[in-house]
């Protein structure tokens, strides 16, 4: 592949590509992990219910689901580096708004603006495919690992900072300030690639997808409050479903679609998308109920551990580190037992971890152990799947296919968030004459329903993972065991997790 002229003229720029992308994923993870242990404090600061505060994560995922495919298509036209800079700018701006929002609706708006942070990973994957094709898969594993390390670090430091400082806006601004300072580094040290200016942008597709997701999310949010047969629920749900179906039909008929259905068929990644969607439901959806359960006072509500934001952050961060470990070890595990079996095993670990929470453990060690199971399983699953997607994607469609994979994950997370918000709002403790103006408190049954559904979906994901087929990793492991005469993979060869034999 011909090196881009800028990289050739100034090798120092290309030299810093990988470290800049890896540290960017670290900061992206810090931003995403920082807010998780603060959810209870956010609910108290703005006097909103547990169901309402869960929408902070949900609307962010919804924004990601719409913005990721749009941004990767814009990257194909205007260049991936330019769109990566824009994604960082929006993420930083949204983080600042979340920190200083005077009212709760502006917190949600900040989460929407922050949503393009999810576009960083597919844009980075496409940049690596373009500038470092020989190392792309190996570096992608490091990106995923650093992302989860960032999530862990953000959760730990965010919770401890809240305990130490006690001022929510100040605590939330700390990671936002770091991301703002990182903008010039991305602009100056990531090499610029040339987009295809003749490529059109599917604005109609982006609008239709946005209408579809907003309709579905709004309908799910209104269900617990107004009843599932009300017009305010049925109408937006129907509109959202019709728009979603229309979106996929229309995408097969436009010259430059937001989601290239043809490229997806050619890349043979449908099972990977299904597994990513199902596993992401527990990955993203489990954050709010677990933190609310952890910080709930058992003396007043009858369940929970009564932990502080700092302790919740430490536990969440420690389990996130196990997810990072799973991501770093995922290639070795896949090489030993096969990629499809590694993904299936990871899904079963997630199912065991969230399923065990149905028993409502009251012991910190038990909750942490279950979190370790699900976190390590998530690391393995999401450490292997991106390699499958990138390896099977054509170089010309790497950004688009990678964007579809990440969009599928975020849609799963957004739907999970809407489901969690609905259940937490619908299954509440009886006030029994208490202050009617106080926010509703979820009942234990709400958490148990959520965890049981997540566990079942991950069992289904494990079954789907078995259809991924054999990979070059499987072939490499077989040839290694065949003896010295067998072909061996060079230590510097790219990791081809996803290619079928």
pLDDT tens profile 95-111: 999 999 999 989 999 99
What pLDDT, on a 0 to 100 scale, did the predictor assign at position 152?
78
What pLDDT, on a 0 to 100 scale, did the predictor assign at position 245?
87
Mean pLDDT for 24-46 is 85
Contact yes or no for 276/385 (Cβ under 8 A): yes
Whole-angstrom Cα distance, residue 81 to residue 193? 6
434 lies in some domain: no
What pLDDT, on a 0 to 100 scale, did the predictor assign at position 490?
28
Mean pLDDT for 176-188 is 87
Percent of the chain's residues with pLDDT above 70: 80
Predicted structure pTM score: 0.68
Banded model confidence at residue 3, pLDDT cuts 50, 70, 90: very low
Whole-angstrom Cα distance, residue 393 to residue 396? 8
pLDDT higher than threshold 70 for residue 294: yes
More confident residue, 135 or 306: 306
492 lies in some domain: no
Same domain? 377 vs 251 = no
Whole-angstrom Cα distance, residue 129 to residue 141? 13
pLDDT higher than threshold 50 for residue 252: yes
5 lies in some domain: no
The two tokens of residue 203 are 């604005």
The two tokens of residue 130 are 């373009």
- DSSP string across 387-426: HHHHHHS-GGGHHHHHHHHHHHHHHHHHHHHHHHHHHHHH
Same domain? 240 vs 360 = no
Whole-angstrom Cα distance, residue 493 to residue 480? 15
Same domain? 250 vs 330 = no
Same domain? 14 vs 61 = yes
Q: What angle do CA 171, 174, 179 make, to 5 degrees?
A: 145
Domain count, the chain: 2
Strand partners, 428: 442
What pLDDT, on a 0 to 100 scale, did the predictor assign at position 482?
45
Residue 442: strand, helix, or coil: strand
Over the chain, what is the mean pLDDT? 78
Residue 456's CATH number: 1.20.1250.20
Same domain? 248 vs 290 = no
What is the 3-state composition of the chain as percent helix, strand, coil, each rounded to the nearest 5?
Answer: 80, 0, 20
What would the pLDDT profile of 396-437 be if each residue is shown by its tens digit? 666 667 667 777 787 787 788 778 878 887 777 765 444 555
Q: What are phi and psi of 442, to 5 degrees?
A: -60, 145
Contact yes or no for 454/354 (Cβ under 8 A): yes
pLDDT higher than threshold 60 for residue 93: yes
- 69 exposure class (CB count in 10 Å sphere: 0-12, 13-18, 19+): buried
pLDDT higher than threshold 80 for residue 49: no
Dihedral sign of CA atoms 42, 44, 50, 53 in order: negative
Mean pLDDT for 35-62 is 81
Q: What angle do CA 414, 416, 421 make, to 5 degrees?
A: 95
pLDDT higher than threshold 90 for residue 356: yes
What contacts 455, CB < 8 A, 6 or more positions away? 282, 350, 351, 352, 354, 355, 358
Same domain? 320 vs 236 = no
First to last CA, the chain: 25
278 lies in some domain: yes
221 lies in some domain: yes
What contacts 379, CB < 8 A, 6 or more positions away? 144, 145, 148, 322, 323, 324, 325, 326, 327, 328, 329, 330, 346
What contacts 478, CB < 8 A, 6 or more positions away? none
Banded model confidence at residue 448, pLDDT cuts 50, 70, 90: very high
What pLDDT, on a 0 to 100 scale, did the predictor assign at position 51?
67
Same domain? 221 vs 264 = no
pLDDT higher than threshold 80 for residue 12: no
| Domain membership of residue 240 as a residue range | 202-255
What pLDDT, on a 0 to 100 scale, did the predictor assign at position 483?
45
Banded model confidence at residue 315, pLDDT cuts 50, 70, 90: confident
pLDDT higher than threshold 80 for residue 226: no
Same domain? 126 vs 65 = yes
Neighbours of 434 (CB within 10 A): 10
More confident residue, 193 or 464: 464
Strand partners, 442: 428
What contacts 132, CB < 8 A, 6 or more positions away? 17, 18, 139
Cα–Cα distances (Å) from 217 to 221, 341, 366, in that order, read 6, 34, 33
More confident residue, 148 or 379: 379
435 lies in some domain: no
Least confident of 318-322, 383-387, 391-395: 391-395
Same domain? 121 vs 223 = no
Least confident of 286-300, 427-441, 475-489: 475-489
Percent of the chain's residues with pLDDT above 90: 16
What pLDDT, on a 0 to 100 scale, did the predictor assign at position 10?
44
Mean pLDDT for 309-318 is 79
Same domain? 23 vs 65 = yes
**Crossing angle of helices 55-78/80-100, nearest 10°?**
160
108 lies in some domain: yes
Same domain? 216 vs 359 = no
What pLDDT, on a 0 to 100 scale, did the predictor assign at position 477?
52
Mean pLDDT for 125-147 is 73
Q: How many CA atoms lie within 13 A of 122 on its CB side?
A: 35
Same domain? 160 vs 118 = yes
What pLDDT, on a 0 to 100 scale, did the predictor assign at position 494?
28
Mean pLDDT for 30-54 is 82
More confident residue, 217 or 492: 217
What contacts 93, CB < 8 A, 6 or more positions away? 113, 114
501 lies in some domain: no
Mean pLDDT for 29-50 is 84
């Amino acid at each position: 592949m011909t090196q881009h002229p800028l990289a050739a003229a100034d090798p120092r720029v290309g030299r810093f590509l990988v470290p800049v992308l890896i540290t960017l994923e670290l900061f992206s993870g810090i931003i995403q992990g920082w807010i998780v242990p603060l959810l209870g404090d956010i609910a108290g600061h703005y006097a909103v219910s547990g169901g309402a505060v869960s929408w902070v994560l949900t609307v962010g995922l919804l924004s990601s689901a719409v913005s990721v495919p749009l941004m990767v298509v814009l990257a194909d036209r205007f260049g991936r580096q330019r769109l990566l800079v824009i994604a960082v700018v929006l993420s930083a701006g949204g983080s600042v708004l979340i920190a200083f929002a005077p009212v709760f609706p502006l917190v949600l708006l900040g989460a929407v603006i922050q949503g393009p942070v999810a576009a960083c990973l597919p844009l980075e994957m496409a940049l690596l495919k373009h500038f470092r094709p020989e190392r792309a898969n190996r570096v992608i594993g490091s990106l995923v690992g650093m992302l989860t390390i960032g999530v862990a670090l953000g959760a730990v430091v965010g919770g401890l900072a809240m305990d130490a400082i006690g001022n929510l806006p100040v605590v939330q601004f700390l990671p936002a300030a770091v991301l703002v300072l990182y903008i010039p580094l991305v602009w100056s040290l990531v090499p610029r690639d040339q987009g295809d200016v003749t490529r059109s942008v599917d604005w109609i597709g982006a609008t239709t997808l946005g209408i579809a997701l907003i309709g579905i999310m709004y309908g799910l949010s209104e269900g617990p409050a107004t009843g599932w047969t009300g017009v305010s629920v049925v109408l937006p749900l129907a509109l959202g479903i019709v728009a979603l179906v229309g979106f996929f039909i229309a995408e097969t008929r436009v010259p430059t679609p937001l989601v290239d259905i043809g490229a997806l068929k050619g890349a043979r990644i449908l099972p990977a998308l299904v597994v990513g969607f199902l596993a992401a439901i527990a990955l993203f959806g489990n954050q709010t109920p677990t933190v609310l359960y952890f910080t709930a006072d058992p003396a007043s509500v009858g369940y929970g551990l009564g932990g502080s934001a700092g302790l919740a952050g430490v536990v969440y961060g420690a389990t996130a580190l196990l997810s990072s470990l799973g991501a770093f070890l995922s290639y070795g595990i896949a090489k030993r037992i096969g990629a499809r079996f590694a993904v299936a095993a990871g899904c079963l670990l997630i199912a065991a971890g969230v399923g065990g929470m149905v028993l409502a453990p009251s012991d910190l060690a038990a909750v942490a152990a279950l979190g370790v199971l699900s976190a390590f399983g998530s690391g393995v699953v999401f450490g292997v799947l991106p390699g499958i997607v990138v390896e099977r994607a054509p170089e010309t469609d790497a950004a688009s296919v990678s964007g579809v994979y990440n969009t599928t994950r975020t849609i799963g997370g957004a739907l999970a968030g809407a489901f969690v918000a609905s259940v937490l709002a619908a299954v509440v403790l009886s006030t029994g004459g208490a202050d009617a103006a106080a926010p509703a408190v979820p009942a234990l049954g709400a958490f148990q329903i959520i965890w049981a559904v997540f566990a079942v979906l991950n069992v289904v994901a494990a079954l789907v993972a078995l259809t991924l087929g054999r990979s070059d990793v499987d072939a490499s492991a077989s040839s290694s065991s065949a003896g010295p005469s067998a072909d061996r993979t060079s230590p510097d060869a790219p990791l081809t997790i996803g290619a079928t034999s």
